[in-house]
Amino acid sequence: MNDDNITEINTSNFADCYSLERKLMSGSYGTVYIGVDLKKRQRFAVKVVDRSKLSSRDDKAQQTEVSILRFLSNQQLLHPNPQVGIIDLVDFFAGPNSYHIVMELAEGGDVFDRLAKRKVYTEKDARDLAKRMLESIQFMHERGIAHRDIKPENLLIMSTQDDTDMKLADFGFARRFSLDNPDHSMKTKCGTPAFVPPELISGISYGPKCDVWSAGCTLFMLLSGRAPFVMDKKKGGKNAMFYKIRAGDYVFYNNYWKHISLNARKLVLSMMQVDPKRRVSAKEALESDWINTPDEDLRRVSLEASLKEIISFHARRKLKGAIGAVMVAAGARFWDISTAAIWRDEMFDSDKAVDGDCEQCEHHATKNDNNHEDDVSPYQNTPPTFGSLYQLEKMVEEGKHEAYWEGRSLESNRSYTIKVVNRKDLSHANEGAVLNEVAVLKSLRHKHIVNLLDFFEEPGNFYLVLHRCSGGDVLDRVASLNQYSEKDARELSRGLLSAVEFMHNRGIAHRNLKPQSLLLERDSDNTSIKIADFGLAKRVHMPQSLTTLCGSLHYVAPELLKNHPYDESADCWSVGVIIYFLLVGYLPFHERTQQELFTSIRLGKYYFDASDWSDVSKEAMDLIKHLLVVDPCSRYTATQSLKSDWIKDVEDDVLANNNFERKRTSMKSSLNGIVKLIHLKGSSKMMSDLSLDDRASF
């Protein structure tokens, strides 16, 4: 008998042992009741499953669930640990027409049922619940079991008196995995869409860290009262949410997170890493600083605002119907995200658990649930493909995985820049980076930032349809000018700082600002720029929370070269380098070797050569001095820079008179040399998981 076969089936008649009382909830295949042991008069939860509704595969899956519950119940008896909370299987009856599964009864309801009744809620309360959840996940994982549907609704409070007596329930999607090769031992797409990890949506094999991602989403809700990912039918529905998950695009909104400790945020970030290799295990999460913070420190942090959100969410959930009460089974068509543009209005509900491993998938993927009569199948109409709406015309630039094309809309005949990313050899992490770029661009609408107008994911390629700037980049433009004044440089810098301020106010760091990333709108305008190239952009969830070494060597901030954590202030260093370049035509840091270059940047060692800077205003040099500050805490922000004397106070006529024409020969020689060097070295690599020593960009 293999591990998935049922053992210890009670051969008695269920009705002779238990009576069924009040119904708790019902689903597609079964109903949960309160049951009473006729001899001991104890109350239990009894799940009654109608076998006539099950396919042979679903019937086997039901038996697997019972087998796993039996195994874990026995393991808890053999290895008692008061910190571990997994619902106990008490009894099991297998009749020809039905299954009766008898389990512990959670008198306190699920974790949000309980929290909604609280008057006081602190970070310690959230930490205690998170610790219990992680202890349970670690216990399962050490025994080769993955739950695959961790969410607040499956965290049950056993007592009405003790809020920390919490147990993990609902093992309908649980599976055994190989302890020898855990990271690639499962393939089935299942779970609750708002809580599933990126690797599951992407369709690659995955391991038990899928539970850690879902637990991270749950912890996010326990701390803030809000879910990190929400399906909004007005903003692209299910597919738009899936793109955000795959990009790891979630936000710590200040209204709910401003009083929550940084260590709590760090733990959430470590649990919700897009790349499973960088994601912590349950054991590592339990060793985190926040989990081990003294109780008194956490008791002082009130989660009053979060509790209000939890109460509001709980009320909406009760009105709508219990999340996850109905396990919708859906197959490949539900999970398919290919050939779907970002504007597609997907109408599936993200609150239900969805299984891709059953024979009734097609039925449930196309038929509306009775509880959601307004839901519409997104596949009634064939979604558009890139080729049905756009045409590629001329390749402009080609990299390792991506190419930039000039293209046009077949409908309007308008021209666009189209970034085509070849998916053939793209890793899961690098696909996530492309989707992160899409998510960032979607959240930024500013006159000095290139707009993302459309996006397609197809089996062979990603397509990003971008606003087309016909004026080239700033590097080439400045090198080609015969007349150029400090007024021109200031106007361009003002637009750059305005866009950078806009990004930073929305918690986004560009991480690759340089003249080649600044595009000019028209050939006739030397100052109307748009920031492009967001392939390395990242949300900044808290100060000094970024660690990836990335960027372009001459523009990278000192803290990155020191391997220090950093944040959006690194962009302001890059802006300082760009403004320096705009004013004299060469870079502040230019050494013969990379090691010498890095040393100069780390020390902030640069000069204002009198022969080149004599025609530049004192106010411009003063701003550069405030931007090229080694200590990021003392460095000017974009907002401070926009209030500087050079940007705000110096009259246009004064700067227009600072014409650099008499230095054109030396400047153009320097600029053309830089252009040639950059073109030889190549532009920044698209992906950001390389060390700076390996990057060939300038």
Q: Is the pLDDT score of 679 beyond 80? A: no
Mean pLDDT of 300-304: 93
pLDDT (0 to 100) of residue 12:
87
At the topology level of CATH, where does 111-366 sit? Answer: Transferase(Phosphotransferase); domain 1 (1.10.510)
- How many residues in the chain? 698
Specify whether the CB–CB gap between 533 and 511 falls below 8 A: no
pLDDT (0 to 100) of residue 104:
92
The helix-helix angle for 428-442 and 237-247 (nearest 10°) equals 120
Q: Is the pLDDT score of 496 beyond 80? A: yes
DSSP assignment of 359-408, as one string?
Answer: TTHHHHHHSPPTT-TT---TTSSPPPPHHHHEEEEEEEEE-SSEEEEEEE
User: What are the tens digits of pLDDT across the range 176-195?
Assistant: 998 988 988 899 888 899 99
Q: Is the pLDDT score of 73 beyond 60? A: yes
Please name the residues in contact with 237: beta carbons below 8 A apart, sequence gap of 6 or more: 231, 344, 345, 346, 347, 348, 378
pLDDT (0 to 100) of residue 694:
34
Instruction: Report how far residue 275's alpha carbon sits from residue 265's, in angstroms, rounded to the nearest whole number.
Output: 18
Q: Is the pLDDT score of 320 beyond 60? A: no
pLDDT (0 to 100) of residue 698:
30
Q: Is the pLDDT score of 126 beyond 60? A: yes
pLDDT (0 to 100) of residue 372:
36
pLDDT (0 to 100) of residue 331:
53
Give me the percent of the chain exceeding a pLDDT of 70. 83
pLDDT (0 to 100) of residue 509:
97
Position of tokens 């959930």?
317
Upper half-sphere CA count for residue 643 (Cβ side, 13 Å): 6
Mean pLDDT of 513-528: 87
Q: Is the pLDDT score of 472 beyond 80? A: yes
pLDDT (0 to 100) of residue 46:
94
Mean pLDDT of 218-231: 93
DSSP assignment of 452-494, as one string?
Answer: EEEEEE-SSEEEEEEPPPTT-BHHHHHHH-S--BHHHHHHHHH
pLDDT (0 to 100) of residue 658:
67
Instruction: Report how far residue 376's alpha carbon sits from residue 141's, in angstroms, rounded to the nearest whole number.
Output: 38
Instruction: Report how far residue 349's alpha carbon sits from residue 357's, in angstroms, rounded to the nearest whole number.
Output: 19
Please state, in angstroms and as integers, the Cα–Cα distance from residue 484 to each residue in 60, 273, 526, 582, 622, following that order. 76, 46, 9, 10, 21
Mean pLDDT of 222-229: 94
Which of 76-80, 551-555, 682-686 is predicted least confidently?
Answer: 682-686
pLDDT (0 to 100) of residue 382:
65
**Stronger pLDDT, 8 or 694, i.e. the higher one:** 8
Instruction: Classify residue 324 as left (phi > 0), alpha (psi -120 to 50) or beta.
Output: left
**Stronger pLDDT, 60 or 233, i.e. the higher one:** 60
User: What are the tens digits of pLDDT across the range 238-282?
Assistant: 888 888 899 999 989 888 898 899 999 999 999 999 999 999 999
HEC secondary structure over 95-158:
CCCEEEEEECCCCCCEHHHHHCCCCCCEHHHHHHHHHHHHHHHHHHHHCCEECCCCCHHHEEEC
Mean pLDDT of 558-566: 94
pTM given for the model: 0.80
Q: Is the pLDDT score of 339 beyond 60? A: no
111-366 with 386-466: one CATH topology? no
**Stronger pLDDT, 646 or 680, i.e. the higher one:** 646
In CATH, what number does 386-466 get?
Answer: 3.30.200.20
Instruction: Report how far residue 163's alpha carbon sits from residue 310's, in angstroms, rounded to the nearest whole number.
Output: 15
**What does the domain layout of the chain look like in residue ranges?**
14-103, 111-366, 386-466, 474-694
Where does the pLDDT of residue 3 fall: very low under 50, low under 70, confident under 90, or very high at 90 and above?
very low
Where does the pLDDT of residue 692 fall: very low under 50, low under 70, confident under 90, or very high at 90 and above?
very low
Position of tokens 């409908």?
411
Query: Taking Cα atoms as reference points, which of 73, 380, 350, 137 lies closest to residue 232?
Result: 350
Where does the pLDDT of residue 319 fall: very low under 50, low under 70, confident under 90, or very high at 90 and above?
low
- Cβ-based burial of 374 (10 A; exposed 0-12, middle 13-18, buried ≥19): exposed
Where does the pLDDT of residue 354 fall: very low under 50, low under 70, confident under 90, or very high at 90 and above?
low
Instruction: Report how far residue 630's alpha carbon sits from residue 444's, in angstroms, rounded to the nearest whole number.
Output: 29
Tokens of 176: 């055994």
pLDDT (0 to 100) of residue 313:
83
Where does the pLDDT of residue 165 fall: very low under 50, low under 70, confident under 90, or very high at 90 and above?
confident
Q: Is the pLDDT score of 677 beyond 50? A: no
Which of 427-431, 474-478, 672-676 is predicted least confidently?
Answer: 672-676
Q: Is the pLDDT score of 422 beyond 80? A: yes
Instruction: Report how far residue 667's alpha carbon sits from residue 53's, in angstroms, rounded to the nearest whole number.
Output: 79
Q: Within 10 A of 649 (CB to CB), how many other CB atoms are there?
A: 9
pLDDT (0 to 100) of residue 145:
96
Q: Is the pLDDT score of 357 beyond 90? A: no
Average pLDDT value for the chain = 83
Phi, psi of 576 (to 5 degrees): -60, -40
In words, the CATH class of domain 14-103 is alpha beta
Residues annotated as catalytic are 149
Where does the pLDDT of residue 164 fall: very low under 50, low under 70, confident under 90, or very high at 90 and above?
confident
Where does the pLDDT of residue 368 fall: very low under 50, low under 70, confident under 90, or very high at 90 and above?
very low
Tokens of 456: 């397609």
Query: Taking Cα atoms as reference points, which of 7, 146, 144, 142 lies closest to residue 67?
Result: 7
DSSP assigned state of 566: B
User: What are the tens digits of pLDDT across the range 9-30?
Assistant: 778 899 999 999 999 887 767 8
Specify whether the CB–CB gap between 319 and 152 falls below 8 A: no
Query: Taking Cα atoms as reference points, which of 625, 647, 622 lies closest to residue 634?
Result: 625
Query: Taking Cα atoms as reference points, which of 416, 475, 494 lies closest to residue 652?
Result: 494
Which of 62-66, 304-308, 334-338, 582-586 is predicted least confidently?
Answer: 334-338
Measured at the CA of 353, the angle between CA 347 and CA 355, to 5 degrees, comes to: 95
Upper half-sphere CA count for residue 177 (Cβ side, 13 Å): 26
Mean pLDDT of 404-425: 94
Please name the residues in contact with 216: beta carbons below 8 A apart, sequence gap of 6 or more: 268, 271, 272
User: Any idea which architecture 474-694 has in CATH?
Assistant: Orthogonal Bundle (1.10)
Instruction: Report how far residue 50's alpha carbon sits from residue 350's, in angstroms, rounded to the nearest whole number.
Output: 26
Task: For residue 655, give the amino acid letter.
Answer: L
Q: Provide the terminal-to-terminal Cα distance of the chain, rounded to the nearest Å.
A: 63
